[in-house]
Amino acid sequence: MWVLAALIASAAQTARNAAQASLTRAIGTVGATQVRFLFGLPFAVLFLGLVVAATGESVPLPNLHSLGFTALGALAQIAATALMLVVMKSQSFAVTTAWLKTEPVIVALTAALILGDPLSLPALLAIAIATAGVILMSVKPGTQWRDTRSALTGLLAGALFGASAIGFRGGILGLETGGFLMRATSTLVLSLTIQTTTLLIWMGLFNRPALRASFAVWRSSLGAGFLGAFASQFWFIGFSLTSAANIRTLALVEVIFAQAVSVFVFRQKLVARQVLGMTVIMLGVGLLLRLQP
């Protein structure tokens, strides 16, 4: 069941990212970032109502443990989404997605530096392979600083997406009542509420034009919001059934989906170097996850 959930979520997220990339050109990075949360929240509430009606369960109240993890995941996801859209403005859709998929490597390295988690030589080799793939994709003859900065921004976005996955799984597991579907959906509603409130306050104070612009293109915003809520619903179902590492490993199929979108939707050409780089990244990430206990 978690495999099916992750595959559905990957496909829906690829479509959502494409919709948000189009919105970025119309209403800017901040405006497009808040669309997935503000316009996704009503759909998440609808999903929760359907779950309550289908299961007969009551909505569990979050404790401090669950609320803390969910808030961590929610805020990390806001920052990661904004950085992802910044990279998409200067790089192709598929290349951006490949950078984001280095998140397991970055999370493992960060845990080793901060928490003292052991890293074996094979694991270090896997990190080196994945890093070589990023360099192969981003560095080319005549590369400008902007290209290198895009790579670093993409890597940071991947790390933050990894932090959000850990936060959301922690929030789901922290709930004391409810089945897996109820806990997943109620955590989704809580996270979107936190994200929507945070961004509404921020944009109300600092960027009202972007907020108004998102309502001006409400049809596109509503579509992106639905796709975001739909994808998140299945990500959260997956997090409620198995480890975040399992879900994010299977999520690497999104790179394949993104290549198809890049070529057939955005009409962007992928050169051999980029394809090879993405292959090397996938190899390194897959090897690292295979080595994890």
* Cβ neighbours, 10 Å, residue 3: 13
The one-digit pLDDT tens for each residue of the chain (293 residues) are 888 898 899 888 878 877 777 777 777 777 777 888 889 999 999 999 999 999 999 999 999 999 999 999 999 988 887 787 777 776 666 667 667 777 777 766 765 675 455 567 787 788 788 777 766 776 665 545 456 677 788 888 888 988 888 889 889 989 989 999 999 999 999 999 999 999 899 888 888 887 888 788 888 888 888 998 999 999 999 989 877 777 777 777 777 677 677 777 767 777 787 788 778 877 877 887 677 65
Would you state the pLDDT for residue 110?
Answer: 63
- Measured distance between the N- and C-terminal CA atoms of the chain, rounded to whole angstroms: 22
Distance of CA 183 to the CA centre of its chain: 20
Picking from 84, 46, 5, the residue whose alpha carbon sits closest to that of residue 225 is 46
Q: Rounded to whole angstroms, how far apart are CA atoms 206 and 69?
A: 27
Would you state the pLDDT for residue 139?
Answer: 60
189 three-class SS: helix
Would you state the pLDDT for residue 88?
Answer: 72
Task: Provide the domain count of the chain.
Answer: 1
CA dihedral 102, 105, 111, 114 (to 10 degrees): -70
Give whole-number Cα distances, 198 to 29, 82, 216, 233, 270, in Å: 16, 14, 21, 20, 37
CA angle 18, 1, 75 (to 5 degrees): 45
Picking from 108, 145, 150, 149, the residue whose alpha carbon sits closest to that of residue 126 is 108
Q: Rounded to whole angstroms, how far apart are CA atoms 252 and 267?
A: 22
What are the tens digits of pLDDT across the range 169-198? 889 989 989 999 999 999 999 999 999 999
Owning domain of residue 106: 2-291
Global confidence as pTM: 0.77
Q: Give yes or no for a contact between 68 and 180, defined as CB atoms under 8 angstroms apart.
A: no
Q: Rounded to whole angstroms, how far apart are CA atoms 167 and 160?
A: 10
What are the tens digits of pLDDT across the range 193-231? 999 999 899 888 888 887 888 788 888 888 888 998 999
Q: Rounded to whole angstroms, how far apart are CA atoms 292 and 273?
A: 29
Rg (CA), the chain: 19
Picking from 135, 73, 74, the residue whose alpha carbon sits closest to that of residue 102 is 135
Would you state the pLDDT for residue 115?
Answer: 42
